[in-house]
Structure 1
Amino acid sequence: VPYSLNHNGLCFLWAILAQVIHRFANPQAPNWLTPGPVASTIRPRLAKRGYFMSIDSVYSDLTLKNGAKMALLVMDGLGDIATAATDYKTPLEAAVTPNLDALAKDSAQGRLIPAAHGITPGSGPGHLGLFGYDPLEVEVGRGVIEALGLGLELQPGDVAARANFCTLDADGLVTDRRAGRIETELCEERCAKLSANIKQIGDAEVIITPGKGHRFVIIFRGADLAGPLSDTDPHREGLPIAESQPDDPNCAKAQKAAKLVGEFYKAALPLLAGLEPANGFLMRGIAHQPDIPMFAERYAMRPACLAVYPMYKGLAQLVGMTKHEGPQTIEEQFQKYKELYDDYEYFFIHYKYTDMHGEDGNFQAKTRAIEDFDKALPILLEKKPDVIAITGDHSTPCALKGHSWHPQPVLLHSAASGSDKLERFTETHANRGSLGIIEAKHLIRLMQANALMFDKFGA
C-alpha cells in the first residue's frame, strides 16, 4: 500500500465492501451511491468528509455577487386539476389573466414537484423547497413556523403547536375543522379565556397567542421537552380529536411533551364547552425549532419577506429573511416591494387566497383570486426585477379540497430565460415548457443562473 489510510478512509473502504456484498446478496436493494432516498441521506454525510463533491459547495464556489434582483411570487396552492365538472379547465385556465399571459410569452415554463413524486406536502415543506432546502431532509414543525411568524421568540427546548379552533358536536366529533373560519376578534376572545385560566401544565409554562382568523399558537416551555409529535387534528370531519403521540416512541422528552398536550386538552376543552362554533381546537405541527443554514449565507443574497399570514412570515424568518409588516393586500405587498427594492436582492412575496379557496372547493373564488393577483401584477413590474419566478408551494385542487401531490406550474422570466413561445401561463402550457418537471428545491438555483450569478464550472 503506497499510502496510509486514516480512520475515516478505513471506514469508507469497509462501507464500500459492505455495499458490494449487500448488492450481491440483494440485487434489488437500494444503492446509496446512486440517486434515491438512501443516497439523499448518505451522500451528504460522505460529502462533508470529502469523499464526494457537495453540490452546495459547487454552487458556493461558483457564486458571483452581481447585485441582481429577483422575486419569488408564490400563489399558495396555485396548481389544480381539470375535471369534467369544470369543463376540463383549472382555475388558472379559466381565469382572465392578461398580465400573466403577456409575461408568459417571454418566459420559460414547467412544473415543480414540491417534495417527491406522490408526496402531498404541507405548506412548510412546500415553501422550504422553493427556498432551496430539501424538504425531505429539513423537517420543521408548523407550530414553530407559526410562532416565529407571530413574532414570538422561541427558547431552546420550547415545543410549539399551530392550533385551529374547531366545532365539536355533543359526542365530541369534529364537525368543522376551522370553526366556520371565525373572525380574528372571536379567536382573540377564546385565546384570552384560555390564557387567563391555564398558565401552566405540570412543570411547563403555557403560552397562548392568537393569529389570524381561527388560528392560534400554543407554546409549552419547560425542562426536558422535545418534538415532533403527531397532530391532534384528525384531518377530516366526523372523527374525534386525535391523541398526540411522539414520532419517536423512545424519546423521553417527546413522551413528556405528548403527556402535556393531553393534560392541556383536559384543562382547556371544559372552558370552551357550549361556546359554538369555536368550542374545541386542533393542534398541528407540534415540534421544537431545528437548526437550518441561513438563506443569506447559502445564496449570497439579502432576502426580504412580504407575507400577510403568520405562518409564511415564520417560514421566512426561520431561514433568516427579514419580514416586513404592514401590507395586507397583494397591491400593498407589491407597492412595498418597490419601496424596498434598493435594500435587498431577493424578495419572497406570498399570496394566500388561491389556497384558501381551493381548500373550500370553490372553483369560481379561486379563479377570481388568480385574476385579482393578475390585476395587481403591473405594480411590481413598474420596478421589474432581473428574475421573476411565479409558482405555488403545492397544488390545492378544488375537487380534492386540500393539498395534493400534483406538480405545480412555474413561470421563470429573465433576460436569459428565453421564450417557450407559449401564449398563456397555465398547467397545460407549463406541461409544454422547456423547464420540464423538476423538483422545487432546484428552482432557486435556476433563478440564480438566470441572474447570471454563477461562474463557469470547470475548464
Structure 2
Amino acid sequence: MDPQDLLRGLHTKNDSKIVLLVGDGLGGLPQQPGGKTELETAATPNLDKLAKEGVLGSSIPVFPGISPGSGPGHLGLFGYDPIKYLIGRGALEATGIGFELQPGDVAIRANFCTLDADGKISDRRAGRIPTEESAPLAIKLREVSIPGIELFVEPVKEHRFVIVLRGEGLEDDVDDTDPQATGVPPLTPTANTPGSKKTAEVCREFLKQAFELLKDEKKANGCTLRGIAAKPSLPSYEEVYGLKAAAIAVYPMYKGLARLVGMDIVGDAKTLDEQMEVLKENWDKYDFFFIHFKYTDSTGEDGNFEAKTKRTEELDTCVPKIMELGPAVFICTGDHSTPAMLASHSWHPVPTLLWAENCRTDPCEAFGEAECLKGGLGQFEAKFLMSLALANAGRLGKFGA
C-alpha cells in the first residue's frame, strides 16, 4: 500500500512546525578501513546535541543497493514512492527556474562540458564554469533552429542549463548523452520507444548545431543532455499531509522538486545565512519547511574529503537558528550518500536524525553513520520519513477502531 493513501485519511491539524534540513549527499565513507566518515570527522556540536536528545536511524532512499539520483532521493524524503513517481531531471530543472511546462513539452537538463581535441570529455562540468560565463553561452544556443520545434534554452546555474522542446509527437523516453565518465565522447541520443524517435532526432540535431556554436570556447566547447522528461503530475503536500509547506533552496532543481509537490518557494537566498533569514521571516506562515544545502554533495562528487567535512561543519552552524524558532519536529538527513572516496552518489543508507519533544530517544551520543546504525529508528525506507514527522508533530490520528 502506498503510505500516502493511508496518510490522506489520518492527518490532523494543529499549530506544530516541522523542519526538514537536507544536507545533499550527506552520507559518506571512511578514507581507510576503521576510519571516520566525513560526517563523523566533522565538528558538529549542534547536531550531536540533538542526536543525544532525539533518535537516529539510517534511511534507504529507493531500494537496498540502489544509488539514487537527487530526484528520487528527495521524493523519498518527501514521502513519495520514488519508484512509482519517476520524474526526469529536465522537468525538475525547468520547474525550478519557474518555466511553465505545458502538456506535451519535453524538458532537458543540459550540462556544459569540456571536450579534448579528439572529441572526448575531459571535464563533465566544464570546470564548474561560473554562471556569469555560462549564462551568455546558454543564450547563444538559442540560435539553434529545428523545423517544427519551438525551442527554449534557459540558463540555470554554473554549468547547467535547461532546454525545452515544444512540438507535435514528442515523447520523453530518450537516453542521456552524459556517459558519467571522462576520456570518452558524449553518447548519442537514443530512443527507447518508437514514440520517442522524433525526440531523439531533435536532440541529435540540437547537439550538432550546439557543438558548432561552442567549438571555439575554451572551457565549455560541448554539452551533454540528461533527464529528458515530460511534465509530471503529483499529489500535493496539502492534499496528502494537510501541511502548508515552504521550500528554502538555492539551486533550481530542488526548487523544482518542491514546487512539483505543492510547496511554495520562499525567498531568494544565496547562502545558508540568508536561508535562515528567510526561514525566520516566514515562520508564522507555514507548517512545514524544507531547507536544502547542496555543498555536502558537490564536494563529495569532487572527491574532496576535507572540503566535504568543512561543508558539513558549515551545515551544523545553522541548527541553533532553527531550534530557537521552536519547531515541534526537526529532521536532518540527506537525499543519498555521496562518499568523497567514490566521488559519486552511492547506495549506502543515509544518516538520519529526528528530534521531537516526545520522541522515544536512544543511547546514541553523536550524529554519524556508525551511531545511526545503532539508532532507534533502525534502517527504514525514506518514504516513511514523513509519517514519522507527522506522528511526532501530533498530526496523525489513530488508524482503525
Q: If the length of structure 1 is used for normalisation, what is the TM-score?
A: 0.85
Q: How many residues align?
A: 401
Matches within 5 A, 1:94-173: 94-173=41-120
Tell me whether 1:224 sits opposite 2:169 in the alignment. yes
For 1:284, the aligned partner's letter is R
Q: Gaps (5+ residues) in structure 1?
A: 1-43, 45-53
Tell me whether 1:261 sits opposite 2:206 in the alignment. no
TM-fit CA distance, 1:57: 3.5
Q: Gaps (5+ residues) in structure 2?
A: none
Tell me whether 1:303 sits opposite 2:234 in the alignment. no
1:417 to 359, 373, 380: 359
- Paired position in structure 1 for 2:183: 238
| In structure 2, C-alpha distance between the alignment counterparts of 1:411 and 1:312, rounded to whole Å | 21
| In structure 2, C-alpha distance between the alignment counterparts of 1:437 and 1:126, rounded to whole Å | 15
Cα RMSD for the two superposed structures: 1.2
| In structure 1, C-alpha distance between the alignment counterparts of 2:293 and 2:383, rounded to whole Å | 20
| In structure 2, C-alpha distance between the alignment counterparts of 1:173 and 1:429, rounded to whole Å | 43
For 1:301, the aligned partner's letter is L
Tell me whether 1:288 sits opposite 2:230 in the alignment. yes
| In structure 2, C-alpha distance between the alignment counterparts of 1:295 and 1:204, rounded to whole Å | 35
Q: Is the 8 A contact 1:335 1:379 kept in 2?
A: no
- Paired position in structure 2 for 1:61: 9
- Paired position in structure 2 for 1:71: 19
| In structure 2, C-alpha distance between the alignment counterparts of 1:269 and 1:256, rounded to whole Å | 20
- Paired position in structure 1 for 2:295: 353
| In structure 2, C-alpha distance between the alignment counterparts of 1:339 and 1:137, rounded to whole Å | 35
| In structure 2, C-alpha distance between the alignment counterparts of 1:297 and 1:289, rounded to whole Å | 20
- Paired position in structure 2 for 1:190: 137
1:313 to 250, 255, 258: 255
Tell me whether 1:394 sits opposite 2:342 in the alignment. no
For 2:70, the aligned partner's letter is S
TM-fit CA distance, 1:55: 4.4
1:201 to 132, 141, 146: 146
Q: Is the 8 A contact 1:331 1:379 kept in 2?
A: no
For 2:101, the aligned partner's letter is L
Seq. identity, % = 49
TM-fit CA distance, 1:458: 2.4
Aligned pair in 2 of structure 1 residues 409, 55: CA closer, same or farther (>3 Å)? Answer: closer
Matches within 5 A, 1:406-445: 406-445=348-387
For 2:37, the aligned partner's letter is T
TM-fit CA distance, 1:381: 1.4
Secondary structure of the corresponding residue to residue 232 of structure 2: coil
For 2:21, the aligned partner's letter is L
Q: Is the 8 A contact 2:60 2:382 kept in 1?
A: yes
Secondary structure of the corresponding residue to residue 145 of structure 1: helix
Q: If the length of structure 2 is used for normalisation, what is the TM-score?
A: 0.98
Secondary structure of the corresponding residue to residue 199 of structure 2: helix
Measured against aligned partners, the alpha-carbon deviations of 1:13-64 in whole angstroms (never above 9, x if no partner) come to xxxxxxxxxxxxxxxxxxxxxxxxxxxxxxx6xxxxxxxxx64343222221
Q: Is the 8 A contact 2:267 2:278 kept in 1?
A: no
Secondary structure of the corresponding residue to residue 340 of structure 1: helix
For 2:268, the aligned partner's letter is G
| In structure 1, C-alpha distance between the alignment counterparts of 2:257 and 2:101, rounded to whole Å | 14
Q: Is the 8 A contact 2:4 2:80 kept in 1?
A: no
Aligned pair in 2 of structure 1 residues 323, 442: CA closer, same or farther (>3 Å)? Answer: same
Quick check: 137-146 or 371-380, which moved more?
371-380
Q: Is the 8 A contact 1:106 1:421 kept in 2?
A: no
Aligned pair in 2 of structure 1 residues 57, 272: CA closer, same or farther (>3 Å)? Answer: closer
| In structure 2, C-alpha distance between the alignment counterparts of 1:285 and 1:146, rounded to whole Å | 9
